[in-house]
Amino acid sequence: MTASKRLVNTSMILAGLATCLVGWGTYALFSGQAGTNLSVTAGRFDITLGDFGWSSTTGASGAGADSLADVSVGDGDVLVLSQAVSTSLVGHNLQAAISVDWADAPAGATATWHLADSDGRQVAPEAGEASLDHALTPPALVGEGEWLVVVTAKFGSGNTVYGDPAAPPSAQTVPLGVITVTASQVRG
C-alpha cells in the first residue's frame, strides 16, 4: 500500500473520531440527570349521613324520623325533607358536588332542592331552588363541613291520585320511591 492511501485512510478514521467526539460533546451539553425525593398524596373525601327529618303543609313533622310511613299527602300538599350530611374533603384542586335524584317519584310529583349550612341558612344555590338534574358545588364544601340537603316535594295538581288526606281510611297508599343524595369528588 502506498503512503498516500494510508494517509487517506488515516484521515477518514480521524474524521470519524472527530465526528464522534463532537456528537458526544453535544450530547453532554444538552443532557443531564437530577434526582429528588418527591411524594404524591391522594386526596380524600368522606361523607357521613346524619339525621333525616321532614315537615309537611298539613302540619305534620318528623324531626329525626326514620321514615315517612305515617304521612298522608293529598293533591297540592308539599313535603320538605332534610338530610344532614357531614363532609370531609382533603386535597388540592378538589371540590365536592352534591346531587339529588328521585328516579321513581310518583306520578304528578315534582321536587326541587337546595343545600343549607348546619344553621339552616341556604348556601347553594344562592337564591331559589335547584332542579333535581342540577348538581351543586359550593366553594365552602372543601375541608370539614356540616350540611343539610333540603328537598321540597310537591304532590299532584288537582287530580285524585293521592287520595284525600282528611279521610285517611279512604286514602290510597302511594309509594314515594327513593330519593338519593349523591356526593362526588370533582376537580376544583
pLDDT tens-digit readout, 120-150: 899 999 899 999 989 988 766 677 888 899 9
Residue 18 binned pLDDT confidence (cut-offs 50, 70, 90): low
pLDDT tens-digit readout, 28-58: 555 556 667 777 777 788 888 888 888 887 7
Nearest alpha-carbon partner for 78 in 113, 109, 105: 109
pLDDT in the model for residue 138: 74
Selection from 107-121, 132-146, 149-163 with the highest mean pLDDT: 107-121
Taking every pair of Cα atoms in the chain, the longest distance, rounded to a whole number of angstroms, is 125
pLDDT in the model for residue 78: 86
Three-point CA angle 145, 129, 120, nearest 5°: 40
Strands (E), 39-107: 44-56, 61-62, 78-90, 94-101
Cβ proximity of 49 and 83 under 8 Å = yes
Select the more confidently predicted residue: 9 or 124: 124
Q: Residue type for 60, please? A: A
Before 125, cis peptide (omega within 30)?
yes
pLDDT in the model for residue 143: 76
How many CB atoms sit inside 10 A of residue 89's CB? 20
How many CB atoms sit inside 10 A of residue 25's CB? 10
Q: How far apart are the first and last CA of the chain?
A: 78
Q: In whole angstroms, what is the distance from residue 102 CA to residue 81 CA? A: 12
The answer to whether residue 25 scores a pLDDT higher than 70 is no
Helices and strands in the chain: count of H runs, count of E runs: 1, 9
